[in-house]
Chains A and B, each alone.
Chain A
Amino acid sequence: MVRPRGSDEVSLYVHIPFCDVRCPYCHFYCFVNRDAQLPLRYVRALATEFDAYLDGGEFDAPLASVYFGGGTPSALPPDARAVLTQWIADSLVPRLSPQGEITVEVNPESAWAETIDPWVEAGVNRISVGIQSMDEETLKFLGRLNTPRSNLRALDLACARVENVSADLILGTPGGDWGKVLRSLEAICSRPVQHLSGYLLEVHAATRFGRDVKAGKWKPAPDEQQTGLYLRAVDWLQERGYEPYELSNFAHPGFESRHNARYWRRQPYLGLGASAHSYGGEQRWSNHRDAAAYCADVEAGKRPVDFRETLNADQQWEERILLGLRTREGVPLDWLRGREQLCAAWAAAHLVERNKGRLRATPAGWLVLDQMVAQLVQ
C-alpha cells in the first residue's frame, strides 16, 4: 500500500451496489438484491474496510470529500441505512476537513424525508439526484422508476435540505430531440439546483441496451444529433451561469464537485465496497465485483482487493493528459512538447484553445476527446 503523496488530504468513494431495478444502460456493478441479510452485512463491511486502512496507518489524513455512489444508496433498506448513517456521523464526519463535502446519490423514487433527513443530520451536505430526464417517454425508454412528478418532488426535497444539489441528465437517447432536452433543463433549473451532470448516452456491450442494439431492436441516435444536443445544452447552461468545468459537469461558480475534481487532478482516494477503485499516487487498485465475496473477505480480516497496478512514468503522463483535458483547466502546454503542430491544427479547427500557457479542449473538442488524446499520447 502506498501512502498518499503530494496531498495532505484523501477522499473516499463508497459504493452501494443495491438497486430497485437494473437500468438497461448501466454497466456499473449493481444489482437488485434478494438476500435480506446482505445489505446490513455489506454496510458493516464498509466500516470494517475503512478501519483496516486506518489501522494500517495508511491514509490517515483528513477527508477532503466522501461520495456515496451506486447502485442506489437511497435504495438501502432501513436497517442498513441506519448503520450507514451512524458510521457517517461517528467515523467520517469527525475526519472531514473544514471545506469537506459529503455527497449521497439518490433516485427520486426512493428519495423521501425519512431517507434523506437522517443523512443530512449526520453530516451529508450534498445530494445528487438521478433525474436523467423530465420527459415521460425518455424515462420509460431508460427503464427508470422515476417520473417527471417524482423528479420535481425529489429535487424540491433535496433543495430544502441542503444548499448543494446536483442533478443527473442523460442526453442523446433515440428520439430525444432538443425540445425534450430543453424541457428537462428548464424544469431542473427552475429549482435552486447548483450543479448538473449531463452525459451522452453510451451503449455498452454488456448491458441490455448493448444487446438490443446488437440485435437491431433500436438504433442509437446519429452522432450529429447527439453532438448537436450536447453543444446546445452547453450553451444554454452557460447562459444561465452553469459553467462547463468538465466535459460532463456544469456548476454555478463555487459549486464544482470537490470529489470529482480529485479524480481528474489525480489526488489520492480510497474506494470502499465491492468494485470500488482506489488511487494512491503511484498505484491503482480495486475490489472484487461481488458483494458477497467482498463481505466474506472483509469479515475474514482480508483485503477485498482483486486488482492492483503500479503506474509507470508513461502511464502517469498519459493519465495526466487524458484526465486534465477533460477539465476546463486543461493541461500545461509543457506537458505536450513535440506535439505543437497537432495542437495548432486543432486550435485552427476550434477543438482546443491555448490560454496562459495551458491547452484546453472546447466543448466541440470534448466531443472528440478520446481521439485527440490517443493522438497526443501516440
Chain B
Amino acid sequence: MALDQAHTRNFCIIAHIDHGKSTLADRLLEHTATIHARDMRAQLLDSMDLEKERGITIKSHPIRMDYKAADGQTYVFHLIDTPGHVDFHHEVSRSLSACEGTLLVVDAAQGVQAQTINNLYLALEHDLEIVPVINKIDLDAARPDEVAMDIVDLIGCELDDIARVSAKTGEGVPELMEHIVRQIPAPKGDGAAPLKAVVFDSQFDAYRGTIAYVRVVDGEVRKGDIIKMMGGGQEHEVGETGFFRMQQVATPQLSAGEVGYIATGAKNVSAVQMGDTITTKANPATDPVLGYVAAKPMVFSGFYPISTEDYEELKDSLDKLKLNDAALTYVPETSAALGFGYRVGFLGLLHMEIVQERLEREYGLSLIATLPNVVYETKLTDGETMLVENPSQLPDPGTIESIGEPFVKASIITPREYVGSVMSVTLDRRGEQSSMEYMDGDRVQIEYLMPLSELVVDYFDKLKSVTRGYASLDYEYAEYRVSDLVRLDILLNGEPVDALSVIVHRSKAYEWGRDLADKLKELIPRQLFDIAVQAALGGRIIARSTVKALRKNVTAKCYGGDITRKRKLLEKQKDGKRRMKQVGSVEIPQEAFLAVLKVER
C-alpha cells in the first residue's frame, strides 16, 4: 500500500552542539510509543559508544513514528537525527534533502549560537519549513522570552510558531507534536512518476550488502526492481525494502514521500554514494534530486601502526570503517621514520579523532598519528601544480613558485566582553576579520577569513579558553590563497624525521622551531646516549636542544631469588617501549609526534 502522503511529516532536528537534540529525539520516541518506557535509555539513537560518551551524533539515524494527533488522525513521522558537528556538515546537508521541515533547537539559556545560524541557513537553502524549538526551559538560567525574540528576529516567524519544551522533563512535548503536524508541510511526491529516491546515508551489512537510506521523492520501489544510481551509474537488484523503527522493518515497497531503506546487495559502499539519486533501469527519471557533491577531505594525517606487523590489520580496519564512512579516504604511504602506514583524509579534526579512537578501541590497534595538515596547492616553476597532502613531500624550495593553502570563512559568536581576546587569538592565527555584527544586547558575531591549517590544530580550544567557554564557532571552506609558507624539519641526532615535518608560515617558523625543539626535549625520554634535537629551515639549523643521556635505570638487588618480580618489571618496560618508535638509534614516544600540536602559540 502506498504511503498516505497527506498524513506524513518528514523532518530532522538541527541544533548547536549540547542544545539537547538527542534528548529531544528520545522524548519524541517515547511520546509516540515507538519505544516503551522500560526500553528507554538516554540518547537512544546514538548507537556507537563514542556517540554516547561524547554526547555527539556521528551518523544519521532515521526512525519512523506513528502519532495520533489532536484532530483524531494518525500521522507518520519520519525523523532523521543528524550529526551535530561542523565536520559532518555534508551529512547534515544530505539529511536535510530528505525532509520538508526541521526542528531548530535552541538552548533557552545559551540562546542562538554560531552553528544555529549556519544550520538555519543550510535549512533555508533546502527550502525547509522551520519549527523553532526553545529547549531546556526547566533550567534556572533559562531566558525563553529573550531567546524567543532573537529567534523571531532571526527567521521572521511569529512568536506563536515557537515551541517551548524541556526535553529533559517532557514539558511542552505534546504541544511540539502538534506544531509539527501544523507547520511542516506534507510531502507532495508524484507516486506515478519514475522512481527518484535520494540517498542520505548508507550502512554496510555483511548479508544484505550496502543498505541505502533513502527518501523516495517520486514513484515507488520494490524488491526485485533493477535500480540505477543516476550519478554513479551502477545498477543493483533490490533485495529488500523497508522502513526504520528501532530495527529495520521490511515492507513490500517504498513509495513517494516515504523514508526507508533499500538493500542493494552492493559489496562496497562506494557503489551507493550518498547524495546520489536512485531510479529504476526500466523507467528512469530524467533529473537527479540533488546536484551530487562528494564530501572532500580537508584534513590529512599519517596513521602508522606502532608495531610494523599490524600494517595489514590497519588496512583491514580502515576498509571496514570505510564501509560506513564514505568521507574517509586513505592511501598507503611510507615514512622513513615510521615505516609503512596510510595517509588518511578527514572532514575535520573531530572526524580524525573519532576514526583514530575507533581504530584503537574497536580494532585494538596502537597507532601513531602525525600532526594533521591541510592540502597545499603548490605551483612549480615549470608551471605545474602539485597537491601536497604530506609536508615531507613538499618539493625543493627552489622549484616552488608559490604555495596556496585553503582558507575558511569562520563565524564566531561571543559575548561582547571577550571580543578583544577573540580578535587577538584569531589575528595570531592569521585571521582576517571580514565583518562584525552586534546581535542581541550582549553578543557579537564576528566573521573571519582564516587559513584552515591555523584552525584545525587547537584554535577552538584556545577560543573556548579565552572566552570562558562562551564562544561558538562554525566554519566553511572559502578558497585557496597563496601564503608565504615554508617547511620546518626536525632532526634527531642529525637524521631528519619526516613524520615531524610541518609546513608553517614564514613569520612563525623560528618561534615554532624553538618551541618544538624544547617540547621534544621534554617528550623524548632519556636514552642511552645524548640526543640532539634540531629544527631546520631549508637545511639551516634554527634551533637546538639536547636530551641528556640516561644515567641510571637499574634494579640493584635481586633479593632471595625473586626473579619473577624482576621479569614483571621488564614486561612493564617492554610495554612502555611498545608505545615507542625506533627511528635510527633514537626511540620516540607516540606523544612526540603530536608535540607539534602542543606548541604554545
The 3 closest A-B pairs by CB, nearest first: A374-B573, A199-B556, A223-B552
Contact residues on A (Cβ < 8 Å of other chain), bracket:
35 or more
Are A349 and B529 in touch, CB under 8 angstroms?
yes
Q: Which residues of B contact A322 (CB under 8 A)?
A: 566-567, 570
Question: A377 touching B574 by the CB < 8 A rule?
Answer: yes
| A68 to B551 Cα, complex, angstroms | 34
Task: Name the segment of A136-144, A210-218, A361-369 touching the other chain.
Answer: A361-369
A50 on the B face (CB < 8 A): no
Mark interface residues in A249-280 (1 if CB within 8 Å of B CB, else 0): 00000000000000110000101000111110
Q: In this assembly, does A248 line the interface, its C-beta being within 8 Å of a C-beta of chain B?
A: yes
A248 to B529 CA separation, bound complex (whole angstroms): 23
Complex Cα distance A307/B562, Å?
A: 12
A-binding residues in B (CB < 8 A): 527-529, 550-564, 566-567, 569-570, 573-574, 576-577, 585
Residues of B within 8 A of A199 (CB): 556-557
Q: Are B570 and A373 in contact (CB under 8 A)?
A: yes
**Using Cβ atoms and an 8 Å threshold, which residues of chain B touch A13?**
560-561
User: With an 8 A cutoff between CB atoms, is A323 at the interface?
Assistant: yes
Chain A residues in 8 Å Cβ range of B559: 28, 69
Interchain nearest-CB distance for B313 vs A (Å): 20
CB-CB under 8 A from B552, the residues of chain A are 200, 223, 226-227, 367-368
A→B interface (CB under 8 Å): 13, 15, 28, 69, 199-200, 202, 223-224, 226-227, 247-248, 263-264, 269, 271, 275-279, 284, 286, 307, 309, 315, 318-319, 322-323, 326, 345-346, 349, 351, 366-375, 377-378
- A278–B564 Cα distance when bound, in Å, is 10
Given A247, A263, A277, A323, which contacts B554 in the complex, CB threshold below 8 Å?
Answer: A247
Contact status B564-A286, CB under 8 Å: yes
Q: Which of A271, A309, A367, A371 contacts B561 (CB 8 A)?
A: A271
| A224–B551 CB distance below 8 A | yes
Contact B528 A346, beta carbon cutoff 8 Å: yes
Of A69, A309, A378, which is within 8 A of B574 by CB?
Answer: A378
Q: Given the complex, which residues of B lie within 8 Å of A200, measured CB to CB?
A: 552, 554, 556
Q: Which residues of B contact A315 (CB under 8 A)?
A: 567
Query: In the assembled complex, how far is the CB of residue B386 from the closest CB belonging to chain A, in whole angstroms?
Result: 37
Expressed in whole angstroms, the Cα–Cα distance for A323 and B554 within the complex equals: 12
Tell me if B577 and A375 are in contact (CB < 8 A): yes
**A23 CA to B528 CA, complexed, in Å:** 33
Sample 12 A-B pairs with CB under 8 A, ordered by A number: A69-B560, A202-B556, A263-B561, A318-B570, A323-B563, A326-B558, A345-B529, A346-B528, A367-B552, A367-B553, A368-B550, A370-B553
Known contacts A271-B560, A319-B563, then 18 further A-B pairs from the complex at CB < 8 Å, ordered by chain A residue: A13-B560, A28-B559, A69-B559, A199-B556, A199-B557, A200-B554, A223-B552, A226-B552, A248-B556, A263-B563, A275-B560, A276-B560, A309-B564, A315-B567, A322-B566, A345-B528, A368-B528, A374-B573
Residue from the list B528, B555, B561 in contact with A277, Cβ < 8 A: B561
- In the assembled complex, the Cα of A224 lies from the Cα of B552 at a distance in Å of 8
Which label, helix, strand, loop or mixed, suits the secondary structure of the A interface?
Answer: mixed
Identify which of B553, B556, B563, B567 contacts A368 (C-beta below 8 A): B553
Query: Judging by beta carbons under 8 Å apart, are B570 and A263 in contact?
Result: no
CA distance A91 to B339 in the complex (A): 62
Closest CB of chain A to B121's CB: distance in Å?
A: 55
Contact between chains at B560 and A15 (CB < 8 Å): yes
B555 near A374 with CB under 8 A, answer: no
> Shortest distance in angstroms between A167's beta carbon and chain B's nearest beta carbon?
15
Would you give the shortest CB distance from A264 to chain B, in whole angstroms? 8
Q: Give A322 Cβ to nearest chain B Cβ, in Å.
A: 6
Provided the pairs A284-B563, A286-B562, A371-B550 are in contact, do residues A202 and B570 lie with their beta carbons within 8 angstroms? no
Which residue on chain A has the smallest CB distance to residue B558? Answer: A263
Chain A nearest Cβ from B578, distance in angstroms: 8
Residue of B nearest to A311 (CB): B567
B574 cross-chain contacts in A, Cβ below 8 A: 374, 377-378
With A373-B570, A374-B570 known as contacts, the answer to whether A367 contacts B577 (CB < 8 A) is no
Task: With A319-B567, A370-B573 as known contacts, state yes or no: A223 contacts B551, CB within 8 Å.
Answer: yes
Q: Kindly state the separation between the CA atoms of A199 and B553 in the bound complex, as whole angstroms.
A: 13
Q: Within the complex, which residue of B557, B562, B570 is in contact with A370, where a contact is CB–CB below 8 Å? A: B570
**List of A residues within 8 angstroms of B555 by Cβ:** 202, 370
Given known contacts A200-B552, A371-B528, A277 and B577 CB-to-CB distance under 8 angstroms: no
Contact between chains at A279 and B577 (CB < 8 Å): no
Whole-angstrom distance from the CB of A226 to the nearest CB of chain B? 6
**Docked CA distance A223–B553 (Å):** 9
Docked Cα-Cα span, A202 to B559, in Å, equals 13
Question: CA separation between A377 and B569, bound complex, in Å?
Answer: 13
